[in-house]
């Protein structure tokens, strides 16, 4: 007989957390209680509050998403905060998980933590091979330490703490703030505002040439649940679309404009940073486990995300 499980999702109100919530509540899942928490339930930078949260919910499993997260421009101006907040949050969550005998923790890294100077495609063995891109070194070093902690907890106590490495994520419930958001939510919002005022010029920061792989949050949610229950390694696993699905920022902007069904001129503001040129990651480890996993096509995921924002812009995180 299956033992009942309590799955605590930290960062449960963010982009990825909301997608997991939507997935598991739309399925008939037995013997599972899912608890989605935000910073309002506990500030995970604080060990006492983290311990209280774990005492209250007594999780058997944890999906650890909570993090100080931001786009290129937020990272560039706040490396110290990204470093410190994420170091504290991750240390506290793993400590409380260990103290409470949590059976499995899946934490979330990101492909932007990989070395800047590297060969491509990047794979899971390369996380610690050299310094990350200078724009987000604080966030990157804090996230890299999760992998180190997972290994150390396993070595000392046999804990099943692992991590996933998603490429850039987008979807409903994203952060649409122009200062702190990532490129897709920022452009969805900027373009919405231009269209509202009948404008025809759409500004994109940087040259539009950098390359990115984007995963739809609803696809990532399915992969997270698979990792939680089926993936048994401590080593991280990259959760990314195929390398052939990599797109330029210019293509992203064109796709968003197409989703709005609107014609206009894209202006590239090259006084703004491009960030890392590319971080092409290999999903061959994932493909070995799940050869038939089907990712939502980029154009239909962008269309869904734009439609979601059109319906929800008044209450979205702006």
Contacts with ligand GDP, 204-223, as mask; x by CB under 6 A: xxx---x-x-----------
Among ligand NAP, ligand GDP, none, what binds residue 210 when CB lies within 5 to 8 Å by partner kind?
Answer: ligand GDP
Nearest Cα to 208, choosing from 272, 160, 115, 129? 272
Binding residues among 139-168 for ligand GDP as defined by CB under 6 A = 168
How far, in Å, CA of 100 to CA of 120, rounded?
Answer: 40
Among ligand GDP, ligand NAP, none, what binds residue 239 when CB lies within 5 to 8 Å by partner kind?
Answer: none
Kindly tell me the sign of the dihedral angle through the C-alpha atoms of 36, 38, 40, 45.
Answer: positive
User: Applying CB under 6 A, does 276 fall inside the site for ligand GDP?
Assistant: yes
DSSP, residue by residue, 267-296: EEETTS----S---B--HHHHHH-TT--PP
How far, in Å, CA of 217 to CA of 213, rounded?
Answer: 13
Which of 98, 139, 231, 277 is catalytic? The answer is 139
> Which one-letter DSSP state was computed for residue 164?
E
Binding residues among 37-96 for ligand GDP as defined by CB under 6 A = 71-73
Contacts with ligand NAP, 27-66, as mask; x by CB under 6 A: -----------xxx--xxx-------------------xx
Q: Are 113 and 83 in contact (CB under 8 A)?
A: no
Helices (H), the chain: 15-25, 47-57, 72-77, 79-99, 137-157, 183-196, 217-230, 249-259, 284-289, 298-312
Interface region with ligand GDP, contact rule CB under 6 A, candidates 19-27, 48-56, 117-125, 179-187: 179-187
Output 13 or 276, the one with its CB closest to ligand NAP: 13
Binding residues among 103-122 for ligand NAP as defined by CB under 6 A = 108, 110
Among ligand NAP, ligand GDP, none, what binds residue 318 when CB lies within 5 to 8 Å by partner kind?
Answer: none
Q: Is 153 a catalytic residue?
A: no
The residues that are catalytic are: 139
């Amino acid at each position: 007989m299956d033992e009942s499980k309590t799955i605590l999702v930290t960062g449960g109100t963010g982009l990825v957390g909301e997608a997991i919530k939507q997935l598991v509540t739309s399925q008939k899942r037995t013997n599972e209680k899912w608890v989605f928490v935000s910073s309002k339930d506990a500030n995970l930078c604080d060990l006492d509050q983290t311990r209280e949260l774990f005492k209250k919910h007594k999780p058997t499993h944890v999906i650890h998403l909570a993090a100080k997260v931001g786009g290129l421009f937020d990272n560039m101006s706040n490396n110290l905060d990204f470093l410190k907040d994420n170091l504290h949050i991750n240390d506290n969550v793993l400590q409380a998980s260990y103290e409470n005998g949590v059976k499995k923790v899946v934490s979330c890294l990101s492909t932007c933590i990989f070395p800047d100077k590297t060969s491509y495609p990047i794979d899971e063995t390369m996380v610690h091979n050299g310094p990350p891109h200078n724009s987000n070194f604080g966030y990157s070093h804090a996230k890299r330490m999760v992998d180190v902690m997972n290994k150390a907890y396993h070595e000392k106590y046999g804990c099943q703490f692992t991590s996933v490495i998603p490429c850039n994520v987008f979807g409903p419930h994203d952060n649409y703030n122009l200062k702190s958001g990532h490129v897709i939510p920022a452009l969805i919002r900027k373009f919405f505002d231009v269209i509202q005022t009948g404008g025809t010029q759409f500004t994109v920061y940087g040259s539009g040439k950098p390359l990115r792989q984007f995963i739809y949050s609803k696809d990532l949610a399915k992969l997270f649940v698979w990792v939680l229950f089926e993936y048994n390694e401590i080593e991280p696993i990259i959760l990314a679309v195929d390398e052939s699905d990599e797109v330029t920022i210019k293509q992203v902007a064109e796709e968003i404009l197409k989703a709005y069904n609107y014609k206009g001129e894209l202006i590239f503001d090259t006084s703004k940073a491009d960030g890392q040129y590319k971080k092409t990651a290999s999903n061959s480890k994932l493909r070995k486990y799940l050869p038939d996993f089907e990712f939502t096509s980029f154009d239909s995921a962008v269309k869904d995300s734009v439609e979601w924002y059109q319906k929800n812009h008044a209450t979205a995180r702006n």
